[in-house]
Amino acid sequence: MIITTDLSKSYKGNTVLNIPELEIPKGQSFGLVGNNGAGKTTYFSLLLDLIRPTSGQIENNGILVHESEDWKPFTSAFIDESFLIGYLTPEEYFNFIGELRGQNQADIDALTASFEDFFHGEILGQKKYLRDLSKGNQKKVGIVAALIGNPEVIILDEPFANLDPTTQIRLKQIINELTKNREVTVLISSHDLMHVTDVCERIVVLDKGDIVKDIVTSEATLKELEAHFSSTAKEFS
Amino acid sequence: MIKRFLNLEWKQYFRSSYWQKSIILNILLIFFALYFVVVFLGMGLAMYPLLKKFYPDEDPLIIFNGFLFYWILADLFVRFFFQKLPVMSVKPLLTLPIKRNKIVNYVLGKSAVSFFNFLPLFAIVPFGVVLMINGYASATILVWMFTLISITLIINFLNFIIENLSSEIELSFLPILLTVGILYGLNHFNIISFTELVGNAVNSISTNPLLIIIPFAVLVLLYYLNFKELYKNLYLDNSLKTKTEQARTTNLEWTRKFGDIAPFMQLDLKLITRSKRAKSSLWMLGLGLLYGLFFYPNPVYANQEWFFVFIGIFVTGIFLINFGQFIPAWDSSYYKLLMSQNIKYEKYLKSKFTLMIMSVIIMFVLSIPYVYFGWKILLAHFAAAIYNIGINSHVILYGGSFNRKKIALDQKAAFNFQGTGAVQWIIGLPLMIVPMIIFAILNYLISFEIAIAIIIALGLVGIALHQKIMSFITARYQATKYKMIDAFDQDN
């Protein structure tokens, strides 16, 4: 489980994220929504120790992420294209990630083969380097790579963006299966309110770095979110 | 419009993290520039008396013109490696109401005000003035100066055409080597005497000013060719064109012998063989190996023992210097991935280290035939190889932790020849010069054998302390991790 305490990040006195307290229990599918600049990617980057917190801390399964690297074996992420290695083929990329995560060739092959339908025949055996794939296909590779090695915490930033409708639906099924056994914690962010309400059992709304809503998903959640974001739209009109 | 372009570039330059982090390097560049200005100035002033002294019976201007061919060759050669066409990110401008002509003219115009074009002026103008003082007709000298300026600009634009053509092929420096080599050879063996040709041409322009139209016409033609080429590149389909290469899968099972660093070594080897930019460091191996041939056959250097170590460091360490100085920037485009993966920094660095060491050993073995020029050379190369392994490899890895400039591995946008320019060469200098100085002093004071022994000993000390140094370097990388992630995230 992930416990955030007194976390803040500011750039030159300008606070971009401020989370006094946030607990994400193991096995939860957790959604993060908010407008641009709300702090979604900042939070994920802090969780992955890619940037340093100005104050406070994040504890991932009992490990302080900015002090120890022991969270790495059970955490995986796909944030953006900078997580891909352009000069590798998809298979080589999966193998590289797999090896770092202590998987053998057979494990990796079995896992990637099970996503054959997700790939829609456009990834495996294509003899193409990742740099030559389309944005959507690159994203598919990145998402599947984040699932290699049975991670307990999976972080996906904007996983639905750039994907075609069929793949979006398939991705939702994948995420639902992952959290079914309550073993894997999945954190996703999205601008698409419908998709997050479909896959996440809990949704947190960030606004300019602050948590403004923390909702357990129900029938009424989509309406509530829409109401929230249209009210912020009205403020400007 | 030009004002806006300049403004854009000004911002691009000074707002890039690269500039802010490497002021020392910039100061060094300025220093070098000033040095060359002084050298050229001195050359311009001393030219007349010198020519008078060595060729008392002949006309200094005509003698000077006789040497112009070499000047042109040297200029062309140096520019190819050091001068790059100004880079401008044009994509955001294409959809704005700016005429494409303007963008192209701006880029070409900017190249004309390059330092490389001003430098010759520092020699040409004083020489011309001295000639005038010594009784040459002002009109003749003025025409002569204009001729030389247009020749400089011709070289400027010719260089970009050559660079553009060569950027398409893998051995990008081969065409220029061949061109310059063949021209020089034809001239040297008197098959076609270019020295005379060029000299006579410039002489006749000085006497018959109307002929200056010819260099002007050549200049205009070259400008036009450059213009056409760049204009063509201004369409996005050129950079968007899906030139999907057939991927080659390579079996690198032998790397398994290196144990847990194998995945990284495989990654590095793929990087070197598959990305255009990294591949060039592989081709440099060949150039490095032959480097000694420039010096050893020459009797002037036969007894310059202090020089052997310098060449030894260069020959055995060419890959180390070329590849090493961009660690970890080679991985900049996916650095975030590496940092969030289940890896140990130490393994990552060790893989790079192992590759560099392997290259040094291979290069040393390949350079053994130099023993033909004397056993001292072989010994010096051996010492240099040990020094490279023990000292330089660590120094360059440590230096890498200061790296803040992203390398775009697979981007080849219009106007971007992925050049590195002069900076790359300056970084390599201390690695070669420090051991050379140590060696030269010891060689002068004591003896060749002792000097060699000391160089080897230094290397061995480095090897003995390898573990300690590596953990120190690893700590250093860890400390700068956030800064590097941030800098590699920026495009400029």
Q: Please judge whether B340 and A99 are an interchain contact, meaning their C-beta atoms are less than 8 angstroms apart.
A: no
| pLDDT (tens digit per residue) in B410-446 | 543 333 334 444 555 666 778 888 898 999 999 889 9
Q: Which residue of A has its CA nearest to B343?
A: A100
Query: Alpha-carbon distance B38 to B46, whole Å?
Result: 12
Residue B376: closest CA among B465, B448, B278 = B448
Q: Which residue of A has its CA nearest to B271?
A: A87
Instruction: Collect all residues of chain B within an 8 Å Cβ-Cβ radius of residue A82.
Output: 333-337, 489
Torsion of CA B209, B212, B213, B214, to 10 degrees: 130
**Looking at the partner chain, which of B244, B271, B334 has a beta carbon nearest the beta carbon of A82?**
B334
Q: Please judge whether A92 and B270 are an interchain contact, meaning their C-beta atoms are less than 8 angstroms apart.
A: yes
Task: Please report the residues numbered 104 through 133 in chain A whose beta carbons come closer than 8 angstroms to any beta carbon of chain B.
Answer: 126-129, 131-132
The ipTM, to two decimals, is 0.85
Residue A210 has pLDDT above 80, yes or no: yes
Cis-peptide, bond into residue B328, ω within 30° of zero? yes
Specify the amino acid at residue B68: L
Architecture of domain A2-236: 3-Layer(aba) Sandwich (3.40)
Q: Please judge whether B247 and A89 are an interchain contact, meaning their C-beta atoms are less than 8 angstroms apart.
A: yes
Residue A86 contacts B where some CB pair is shorter than 8 Å:
yes
Q: What is the pLDDT of residue B229?
A: 83
Residue B387 has pLDDT above 90, yes or no: yes
Distance from chain centroid for Cα B277: 14
Please give, one letter per residue, the 3-state secondary structure of chain A: CEEEEEEEEEECCEEEEEEEEEEECCCCEEEEECCCCCCHHHHHHHHCCCCCCCEEEEEECCEECCCCCCCHHHEEEECCHHHCCCCCCHHHHHHHHHHHCCCCHHHHHHHHHCCHHHHCCCCCCCCCCHHHCCHHHHHHHHHHHCCCCCCCEEEEECCCCCCCHHHHHHHHHHHHHHHHCCCCEEEEECCCHHHHHHHCCEEEEEECCEEEEEEECCCCHHHHHHHHHHHHHHHHC
Residue A12 contacts B where some CB pair is shorter than 8 Å:
no
Place of tokens 């083929």: A89
Query: Alpha-carbon distance B177 to B185, whole Å?
Result: 12
**Looking at the partner chain, which of B242, B336, B343 has a beta carbon nearest the beta carbon of A82?**
B336
| pLDDT (tens digit per residue) in B112-134 | 888 888 888 888 888 888 888 88
Radius of gyration of chain A measured on its C-alpha atoms? 18
Backbone dihedral angles phi then psi of residue B16, each to the nearest 5 degrees? -80, 145
> Which of A105-119, B4-18, B222-236 has maximum average pLDDT?
A105-119
Q: Please judge whether B340 and A72 are an interchain contact, meaning their C-beta atoms are less than 8 angstroms apart.
A: yes
Is A220 within 8 Å of A228 (Cβ atoms)?
no
Q: Please judge whether B410 and A131 are an interchain contact, meaning their C-beta atoms are less than 8 angstroms apart.
A: yes
Instruction: Collect all residues of chain A within an 8 Å Cβ-Cβ radius of residue B270.
Output: 87-88, 92
Size of interface A-B (CB pairs under 8 A): 88
- Order of strands, sheet of A55-60, starting from the edge strand that comes earlier in the sequence: A14-24, A2-11, A55-60, A63-64
Q: What is the pLDDT of residue B89?
A: 65
- Residues of chain B whose beta carbon is less than 8 angstroms from a beta carbon of chain A are 242, 244-247, 249, 262-263, 266-267, 270-271, 274-275, 333-337, 339-343, 409-410, 482, 485-486, 489
Q: What is the pLDDT of residue A168?
A: 92
Average pLDDT, chain B: 81
Residue A184 has pLDDT above 80, yes or no: yes
Q: What is the pLDDT of residue B109?
A: 83
Is B152 within 8 Å of B117 (Cβ atoms)?
yes
Q: Which residue of B has its CA nearest to A100?
A: B342
Of A6-10, A113-117, B55-59, B243-247, the range with the lowest mean pLDDT is: B243-247
Instruction: Collect all residues of chain B within an 8 Å Cβ-Cβ radius of residue A50.
Output: 336, 339-340, 482, 485
Q: What is the pLDDT of residue A215?
A: 92
Q: What is the pLDDT of residue A180?
A: 87
Query: Encoding tokens for residue B366?
Result: 């390949």
> Which of A37-41, B7-11, B21-25 has maximum average pLDDT?
A37-41
| pLDDT (tens digit per residue) in A134-161 | 889 999 999 999 999 899 999 999 999 8
Please give, one letter per residue, the 3-state secondary structure of chain B: CHHHHHHHHHHHHHHCHHHHHCHHHHHHHHHHHHHHHHHHHHHHHHHHHHHHHHCCCCCHHHHHHHHHHHHHHHHHHHHHHHCCCCCCCCHHHHCCCCCHHHHHHHHHHHHHCCHHHHHHHHHHHHHHHHHHHCCCCHHHHHHHHHHHHHHHHHHHHHHHHHHHHHCCCCCCCHHHHHHHHHHHHHHHCCCCCHHHHHHHHHHHHHHCHHHHHHHHHHHHHHHHHHHHHHHHHCCHHHHHCCCCCCCCCCCCHHHHHHHHHHHHHHHHHHHHHHCHHHHHHHHHHHHHHHHHHHCCCCHHHCCCHHHHHHHHHHHHHHHHHHHHCCCCHHHHHHHHHHHHCCCCHHHHHHHHHHHHHHHHHHHHHHCHHHHHHCHHHHHHHHHHHHHHHHHHHHHHHHHHCCCCCCCCCCCCCCCCCCCCCHHHHHHHHHHHHHHHHHHHHHHHHCCHHHHHHHHHHHHHHHHHCHHHHHHHHHHHHHHCHHHHHHHHCCCC
Domain boundaries, chain A: 2-236
Is B296 within 8 Å of B305 (Cβ atoms)?
no
Q: Answer positive or negative: Cα dihedral of A97, A101, A106, A112.
A: negative
Residue of B244, B249, B340 to mutate for A, most A C-beta atoms under 10 A: B340
| pLDDT (tens digit per residue) in B75-95 | 888 888 777 666 666 667 777
Query: Alpha-carbon distance A22 to A27, whole Å?
Result: 15
**C-alpha distance from residue B454 to each of B441, B463, B466 (Å):** 11, 14, 18
Average pLDDT, chain A: 90
Mean pLDDT of B352-362: 92
Would you call A231 exposed, middle or buried from its count of C-beta atoms within 10 A (0-12, 13-18, 19+)? exposed
Specify the amino acid at residue B206: S
| pLDDT (tens digit per residue) in A55-88 | 999 999 999 998 888 898 899 999 988 899 988 8
Q: What is the pLDDT of residue A202?
A: 94
Instruction: Collect all residues of chain B within an 8 Å Cβ-Cβ radius of residue A143.
Output: none
| pLDDT (tens digit per residue) in B332-343 | 888 988 888 877
Residue B238, min C-alpha distance to chain A (Å)? 15
Residue A99 contacts B where some CB pair is shorter than 8 Å:
yes
Residue A229 contacts B where some CB pair is shorter than 8 Å:
no
Residue A129 has pLDDT above 80, yes or no: yes
Q: Please judge whether A49 and B340 are an interchain contact, meaning their C-beta atoms are less than 8 angstroms apart.
A: yes
Residue B22 has pLDDT above 90, yes or no: no
| pLDDT (tens digit per residue) in A3-60 | 999 999 998 889 999 999 999 999 999 999 999 888 999 999 999 999 999 999 999 9
Q: What is the pLDDT of residue B346?
A: 85
Residue B367: closest CA among B421, B439, B292 = B292
Q: Which residue of B has its CA nearest to A91?
A: B249
Instruction: Collect all residues of chain B within an 8 Å Cβ-Cβ radius of residue A131.
Output: 409-410
Nearest 5°: CA angle at B152, between B49 and B209?
75
Query: Encoding tokens for residue A65?
Result: 């992420």
Q: What is the pLDDT of residue B94?
A: 72
Instruction: Collect all residues of chain B within an 8 Å Cβ-Cβ radius of residue A84.
Output: 334, 337
Q: What is the pLDDT of residue A236?
A: 63
Estimate the crossing angle of helix B305-324 against helix B345-366, to 10 degrees.
140
Phi-psi region of B192 (alpha: psi -120 to 50; beta: other; left: phi over 0): beta
Q: Please judge whether B339 and A132 are an interchain contact, meaning their C-beta atoms are less than 8 angstroms apart.
A: no
Work out the number of other CB atoms within 10 angstroms of the CB of residue B212. Answer: 16
Place of tokens 């140094």: B469
Instruction: Collect all residues of chain A within an 8 Å Cβ-Cβ radius of residue B485.
Output: 50-51
**Looking at the partner chain, which of A48, A80, A128 has a beta carbon nearest the beta carbon of B247?**
A128
Instruction: Collect all residues of chain B within an 8 Å Cβ-Cβ radius of residue A128.
Output: 244-245, 247
Residue A38 contacts B where some CB pair is shorter than 8 Å:
no
Query: Alpha-carbon distance B408 to B424, whole Å?
Result: 16
Strands A14-24 and A2-11: antiparallel
Task: Please report the residues numbered 140 through 179 in chain A whose beta carbons come closer than 8 angstroms to any beta carbon of chain B.
Answer: 149
Q: Please judge whether A84 and B337 are an interchain contact, meaning their C-beta atoms are less than 8 angstroms apart.
A: yes
Q: What is the pLDDT of residue A102?
A: 87
| pLDDT (tens digit per residue) in B142-200 | 888 888 899 999 988 888 888 777 766 666 677 788 888 888 888 888 888 888 888 88
Instruction: Collect all residues of chain B within an 8 Å Cβ-Cβ radius of residue A132.
Output: 242, 244-245
Residue B355: closest CA among B282, B249, B461 = B282
Q: Please judge whether A84 and B343 are an interchain contact, meaning their C-beta atoms are less than 8 angstroms apart.
A: no
Query: Alpha-carbon distance B475 to B492, whole Å?
Result: 27
Specify the amino acid at residue B202: V
Residue A130, min C-alpha distance to chain B (Å)? 10
Place of tokens 């040095």: B35
- Order of strands, sheet of A210-216, starting from the edge strand that comes earlier in the sequence: A75-78, A153-157, A185-189, A29-33, A202-207, A210-216
Is B459 within 8 Å of B392 (Cβ atoms)?
no
Q: What is the pLDDT of residue A3?
A: 94
